[in-house]
Amino acid sequence: MKKLFIFINVLIYTAFAQQTYTFTNCGATGRFGPTQAQINAAYTGTNTLTGLVSLSSTTGIQSFTIPISGPYRIEANGAQGGSESVNKYGGRGARMIGDFNFTAGQVIKILVGQQGSAVLTYYGGGGGTFMTDNSNNPLVVAGGGGGAGGAAGGNGVDAVITTNGTAGTAGGAGGVNGNGGNAVQTNAGSGGGFYTNGTGTFISPSCSVSAGRAFVNGGEGGQMANWLPGGFGGGGGGWNSTGNGGGGGGYSGGGTSGATYVGGGGGGSFNSGSNQVNTGGVNTGHGRVVITLLCSPGALPVSNTAANQLNICSGSSSSLSVTGTGTLNWYNSPT
């Protein structure tokens, strides 16, 4: 009598652990971002970013090539405005989280916002944190907080999760629709947006240099003369001593006003991902970006080809139910 064997399709099992990539300001401060040397020094020995990050602009925007196709979670944090850390604080940056599908070889750009400068009683706005595709289409933007106030004191305004920036404590409207904020009666600068630099009415034309620049224009923080610069990421510059705080950079910039020398407005934010978790006014210090490769149990394969493999995250499980008599061939190919 002949034995009949039913061979169940081969299940190729590959275990994936979540891979995380963390991008920082790499030790840079002020209105310009990191140099290539700073990037190399910061990421060497990280096992995930060593030699994989380059500059896409002279101001410090980082360029990263996606190594593996799949679903990713992006967390972007905007920078805090300039802060005295005693009795007045810069506005805190926003945190924006969303999921995206990327393809191996896809290039993305990352600008990590830097905290606004702070000396004596004048404070620059915090830089927004930006992530785009290689054609400058925005994916996630987390606004930066406004700089603290000078003579009259007071805190800077926190960044928000809506696309429009906020006004400074004493006025100066926030930008809308991806544009820079406004500044009135002041030498301090409003925050830059995604598409346009900070704008507004200034005491003199030379004061316009204190406004933060847009992401598409390089994202530099604003600075007038030797006064305090805003943070990289479009933060507006602070005004001299006892002056008002600069507006935060973001998808739309924060505004500022020198009427009573108080805090600058917070930047707006943007998120085109799915499964969003967005929080305004939460991040302190410099900004950062965390990119995590996600994976989840897939459907059972329908043939014994590698193209129909079942991928299972490390730490998760999957069940196989079989009816009838047969033989199961199981191949384990861990990564």
d(CA 269, CA 244): 23
Q: Is the pLDDT of residue 40 over 90?
A: yes
pLDDT digits (tens, 9 = 90+) for 52-71: 899 988 889 999 999 999 99
Of the ranges 13-22, 285-294, 313-322, the best mean pLDDT one: 285-294
**Mean pLDDT, the chain, integer:** 83
Report pLDDT for 204.
56
Check whether 311 has a pLDDT greater than 90: no
- Does residue 228 carry a pLDDT above 70? yes
CA distance 216 to 104: 25
Residue 324 has a pLDDT of 57
- Cα torsion angle, 53, 54, 56, 58, sign: positive
Separation CA 174–CA 114 (nearest Å): 20
State how far the Cα of 60 lies from the Cα of 166, in Å rounded to an integer. Answer: 26
- State the pLDDT at residue 3: 44
Confidence of residue 319 (pLDDT cuts 50, 70, 90): low
Kind plus residue range of the DSSP H or E element containing 41:
helix 36-43
Q: Which one is predicted more confidently, 234 or 123?
A: 234
Tens digit of each residue's pLDDT (9 = 90 or more) over 183-218? 887 778 999 999 999 986 555 555 567 899 999 999
Spatial distance between the Cα atoms of 237 and 47, rounded to a whole number of angstroms: 37
277: Cβ–Cβ under 8 A, 6 or more apart, which residues? 97, 98
Per-residue pLDDT tens digits for 6-37: 343 444 444 455 789 999 999 999 999 999 99
pLDDT tens track for 248-288: 999 999 999 877 788 999 999 999 999 999 999 999 999 99
pLDDT of residue 303: 39
First to last CA, the chain: 44
pTM: 0.84
Kindly indicate the confidence band of residue 227, based on its pLDDT and cuts at 50, 70 and 90: confident
Q: At residue 331, does pLDDT exceed 60?
A: no
Q: Which pLDDT score, from 0 to 100, does residue 186 have?
A: 72
Q: What is the pLDDT of residue 201?
A: 54
pLDDT at 92 over 90: yes
Selected residue with higher pLDDT from 174 and 301: 174
Given a cut of 60, is residue 4 above it in pLDDT?
no
Q: Per mean pLDDT, which range of 81-95, 106-120, 136-150 is the poorest?
A: 81-95
Task: Please say if the pLDDT value at position 230 is more than 80.
Answer: yes
Confidence at residue 8, expressed as pLDDT on a 0 to 100 scale = 39
Query: Would you call 37 helix, strand, or coil by DSSP?
Result: helix
pLDDT of 306 higher than 50: no
- Please report the pLDDT score of residue 333 as a whole number: 38
Q: What is the pLDDT of residue 11?
A: 42
Give the pLDDT mean for 120-134.
91
CB 96 within 8 A of CB 278: yes
Percent of the chain with pLDDT over 90: 59
